[in-house]
């Protein structure tokens, strides 16, 4: 009895023995600069709530208002009865904000990749994918059944070499990259990627999950950051990070958006974004459109933290964005570092292999516009104490 399913328990035991089993903590209140876990307050340095909108008062008021009008559930997939006026309003506002012709919203950023990539490339086509691309891109490439060629991270010469090697054949070619690489905080070399793709007749797509609400004027994203309007075929994004709620999007030409609406399986076979999410995302857009104050605060906080930590001798890697990796080295040390921080009231998780290369295990620090200077100073102090104690700094 039970032998059919024993493999699960055995695998979980193995993960625990090897330190690969992740503890999942539950928050007893809203996301913010500080969070409550098991009755204690912790400085929150690991959420993607970049602009602090996840618990914003204006957003909550808007959600309540729209729920009164539309209820909560979409009741169906978009293509049957699940398209509500609020979805269309969000799409119109998103396209306007991003300076794209059109946009379509999906249930999440993960779904947006699964919607965009297999819809644009299939059997007989070739996808060129940065070696550090997000797991949802990797999954979407697999689902597409196209041949996927990985190029070295942000290595334009390697991309060109691969493009040249796959020039023959009738299939389409698609280049896909993360906009901001989440584990290091570096920005894709999009202008050069676009040039290379144009030269070889490839479609370009960028997944701007960590750039949405962060990069560009007032958080308009990576295309705006580089002034590449009209030259990137597909902008994929998420509203689950800076926007503070959950949702995905695809922006580009109206033909692309029409095509995705008609063809993409997550749009055809999974129900629409919920009303509270659509409402929250709409209000987040309003807030971001009115002022770039939150985006500025986020960048100020990121620069301050990086500067202070590196002054104290920490290796903060090659980040070009507010994402602040603090490189520790071995996985066990990074886990230990994170555990000691937690005891000191700081919640910042360790990121280890296979998410990052061996020997570069790190604490990835995520600041937000919700953090004040005194919050950051408290966090820095705990990093310095822990780093000194463990010999990570001051050696």
Asked if residues 227 and 300 have their Cβ atoms less than 8 Å apart, the reply is no
Extract the runs of DSSP E, i.e. beta strands, from the chain.
34-37, 40-44, 102-106, 126-130, 147-151, 173-178, 203-207, 234-238, 248-252, 324-329, 346-347, 350-351, 361-365
CB of 291 to ligand PLP, least distance (A): 24
SS3 388: helix
Position 182 contacts ligand PLP (CB under 6 A):
yes
Q: Which of 130, 46, 393, 111 is nearest to 248 (CA)?
A: 111
CB of 241 to ligand PLP, least distance (A): 6
Q: Which of 248, 231, 250 is nearest to 239 (CA)?
A: 248
Interface with ligand PLP by CB under 6 A: which range of 5-13, 80-88, 186-194, 202-210? 202-210
Residues sharing a CB contact under 8 Å with residue 164, sequence separation 6 or more, in sequence order: 200
Rg (CA), the chain: 22
SS3 6: helix
Figure out which of the listed residues 32, 82, 109, 276 binds ligand PLP, where binding follows CB under 6 A.
Answer: 109
**Where do runs of H (alpha helix) occur along 145-253?**
156-165, 190-199, 222-225
Figure out which of the listed residues 173, 210, 220, 335 binds ligand PLP, where binding follows CB under 6 A.
Answer: 210
- Of 49 and 338, nearer to ligand PLP (C-beta) is 49
Figure out which of the listed residues 114, 146, 209, 257 binds ligand PLP, where binding follows CB under 6 A.
Answer: 209
Q: Which of 280, 286, 278, 285 is nearest to 85 (CA)?
A: 278
CB of 116 to ligand PLP, least distance (A): 11
* Maximum Cα interatomic distance, the chain, rounded to a whole number of Å: 63
Kindly write out the interface string for residues 110-129 of this chain, putting x where it contacts ligand PLP by CB under 6 A and - elsewhere: x-------------------
- Of 288 and 384, nearer to ligand PLP (C-beta) is 288
Figure out which of the listed residues 134, 261, 297, 364 binds ligand PLP, where binding follows CB under 6 A.
Answer: 134
**Residue found by looking up tokens 């004040």 in the block:** 372
d(CA 197, CA 389): 49
**Residue found by looking up tokens 């050069």 in the block:** 192
Q: Closest residue to ligand PLP, Cβ-based?
A: 109
CB of 286 to ligand PLP, least distance (A): 20
Figure out which of the listed residues 32, 244, 248, 379 binds ligand PLP, where binding follows CB under 6 A.
Answer: 248
- For the stretch 294-313, what's the b/e string if a residue is b when 16 or more beta carbons lie within 10 angstroms of its beta carbon? bbebbbebbebbbebbeebe
Total residues contacting ligand PLP by CB under 6 A comes to 13
CB of 2 to ligand PLP, least distance (A): 35
- Of 182 and 386, nearer to ligand PLP (C-beta) is 182
Interface with ligand PLP by CB under 6 A: which range of 36-44, 119-127, 205-213, 227-235? 205-213
Active site residues: 182, 210, 241
Asked if residues 342 and 354 have their Cβ atoms less than 8 Å apart, the reply is no
CB of 135 to ligand PLP, least distance (A): 8
Figure out which of the listed residues 119, 136, 148, 162 binds ligand PLP, where binding follows CB under 6 A.
Answer: 136
Position 47 contacts ligand PLP (CB under 6 A):
no
Query: Of 141-180, which residues contact ligand PLP (CB under 6 A)?
Result: 178
Position 240 contacts ligand PLP (CB under 6 A):
yes
Provide the binding-site residues for ligand PLP, judged by CB under 6 A. 108-110, 134, 136, 178, 182, 207, 209-210, 238, 240, 248
């Amino acid at each position: 009895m039970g032998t059919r399913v024993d493999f699960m328990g055995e695998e979980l035991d193995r993960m625990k023995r090897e330190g690969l089993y992740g503890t999942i903590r539950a928050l007893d209140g809203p996301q913010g600069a500080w969070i409550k876990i098991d009755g204690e307050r912790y400085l929150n340095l690991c959420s993607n709530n970049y602009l602090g909108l996840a618990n914003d008062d204006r957003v909550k008021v808007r959600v309540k208002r729209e729920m009164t009008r539309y209820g909560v559930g979409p009741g169906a997939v978009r293509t049957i009865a699940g398209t509500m006026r609020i979805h269309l309003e969000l799409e119109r506002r998103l396209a306007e904000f991003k300076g794209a012709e059109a946009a379509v919203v999906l249930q999440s950023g993960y779904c947006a990749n699964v919607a965009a990539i297999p819809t644009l490339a299939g059997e007989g086509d070739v996808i060129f994918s940065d070696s550090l691309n997000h797991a949802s891109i990797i999954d979407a490439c697999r689902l597409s059944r196209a041949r996927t060629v990985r190029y070295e991270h942000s290595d334009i010469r390697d991309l060109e070499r691969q493009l040249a090697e796959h020039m023959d054949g009738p299939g389409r070619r698609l280049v896909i990259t993360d906009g901001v690489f989440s584990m290091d905080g570096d920005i894709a070399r999009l202008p050069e990627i676009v040039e290379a793709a144009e030269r070889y007749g490839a479609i370009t797509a960028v997944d701007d999950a960590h750039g949405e609400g962060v990069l560009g004027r007032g958080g308009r994203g990576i295309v705006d950051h580089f002034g590449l309007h009209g030259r990137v075929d597909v902008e994929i994004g998420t509203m689950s990070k800076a926007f503070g709620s959950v949702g995905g999007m695809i922006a580009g030409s109206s033909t692309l958006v029409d095509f995705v609406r008609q063809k993409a399986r997550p749009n055809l076979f999974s129900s629409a974004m919920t009303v509270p999410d659509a409402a929250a995302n709409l209000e987040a857009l309003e807030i971001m459109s009115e002022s770039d104050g939150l985006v500025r605060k986020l960048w100020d906080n990121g620069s301050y933290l990086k500067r202070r930590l590196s002054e104290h001798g920490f290796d903060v890697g090659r980040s070009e964005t507010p994402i602040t990796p603090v490189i520790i080295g071995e996985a066990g040390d990074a886990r230990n570092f994170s555990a000691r921080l937690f005891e000191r009231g700081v919640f910042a998780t360790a990121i280890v292999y296979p998410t990052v290369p061996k020997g570069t295990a790190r604490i990835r620090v995520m600041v937000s516009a919700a953090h004040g200077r005194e919050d950051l100073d408290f966090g820095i102090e705990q990093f310095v104490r822990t780093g000194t104690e463990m010999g990570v700094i001051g050696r």
